[in-house]
């Protein structure tokens, strides 16, 4: 009696997943501004969105640990304490509504909002010394970040809409993102298990992709430590543009 191998063996899946995981590592640890949100849409070319999100859970855990270790000295603890409760509320909403909402619809809404925010930033750039966004808006955007992170690991664009106007130095920006998403992703494990997403085939496939996590994080850390702030935010905007376009396209296709 033969036993089927539990992990995904389709070469096309790995053709899209390997660059997706590397991009996720770079986005999480170097430019945590939305580039990593492309990972699930890319993998969704080969598997469903919920399955892609489940496969990435162990990979995200390792990347989060490496990112926190690399940027722990640059963390703005006060800002993290403000953001985290709102993000956890978003995770809870995502867990409750996961089976009701279509993941592609949510991705489309995130994509449209991302492109609108990007257009606003490029066409109506704030003047030096302008006031930062109000904290109530930061709370709403962070709830949206936790929600979209749960549904499709696409939590970067909403929280970026609050953090980018703050004008944080690149290392502090990346440190806040690394610690924030570590706790957000950690809070997703039990709901994912409850929803039946953390099955043996998904976890076995995660183990195959796991060695790519340190490589992606290493690339991101090197870039974040060497890049000038002006270029950093240009790449942030590029990542948001690519992410928003891909998410919106997936919803409309």
Query: Is 133 in a helix, a strand, or coil?
Result: coil
pLDDT at residue 153 greater than cutoff 90: no
Confidence of residue 130 (pLDDT cuts 50, 70, 90): low
Task: Tell whether 1 is covered by a domain.
Answer: no
| Helix, coil or strand: residue 45 | coil
Residue 168 pLDDT exceeds 70: yes
- The pTM for the full model equals 0.77
Place 148 in a pLDDT band, splitting at 50, 70 and 90. confident
Domain count, the chain: 1
Tens-place pLDDT, residues 4-53: 557 788 888 999 899 888 888 877 765 545 566 677 777 877 887 778 88
- Do residues 176 and 74 make contact, with C-beta atoms less than 8 angstroms apart? no
- Domain membership of residue 2 (yes or no) is no
Check: CB of residue 190 under 8 Å from CB of residue 136.
no
Instruction: Tell me the C-alpha distance between 51 and 13, whole Å.
Output: 12
Structural domain boundaries enclosing 172: 11-252
Residue 5 lies in a domain: no
């Amino acid at each position: 009696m033969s036993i089927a191998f539990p992990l995904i063996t389709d070469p096309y899946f790995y053709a899209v997943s390997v660059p997706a995981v590397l991009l996720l590592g770079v986005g999480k640890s170097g430019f945590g501004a939305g580039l990593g949100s492309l990972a699930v849409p890319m993998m969704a070319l080969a598997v469903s969105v919920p399955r892609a999100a489940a496969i990435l859970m162990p990979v995200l855990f390792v990347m989060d640990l490496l990112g926190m270790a690399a940027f722990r000295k640059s963390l703005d603890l006060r800002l993290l304490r403000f953001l985290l409760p709102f993000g956890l509320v978003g995770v809870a909403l995502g867990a409750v509504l996961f089976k009701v909402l279509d993941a592609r619809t949510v991705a489309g809404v995130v994509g449209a909002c991302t492109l609108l925010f990007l257009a606003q930033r490029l066409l109506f750039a704030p003047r030096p010394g302008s006031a930062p966004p109000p904290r109530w808006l930061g709370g709403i955007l962070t709830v949206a970040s936790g929600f979209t992170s749960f549904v499709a690991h696409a939590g970067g664009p909403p929280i970026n809409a609050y953090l980018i106007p703050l004008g944080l130095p690149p290392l502090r920006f990346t440190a806040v993102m690394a610690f924030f998403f570590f706790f957000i992703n950690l809070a997703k494990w039990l709901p994912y298990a409850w929803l039946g997403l953390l099955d043996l085939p998904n976890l076995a496939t995660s183990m195959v992709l796991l060695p790519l996590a340190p490589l992606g994080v290493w690339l991101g850390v090197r870039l974040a430590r060497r890049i000038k702030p002006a270029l950093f935010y240009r790449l942030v905007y590029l990542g948001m543009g690519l992410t928003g376009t891909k998410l919106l396209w997936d919803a409309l296709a």
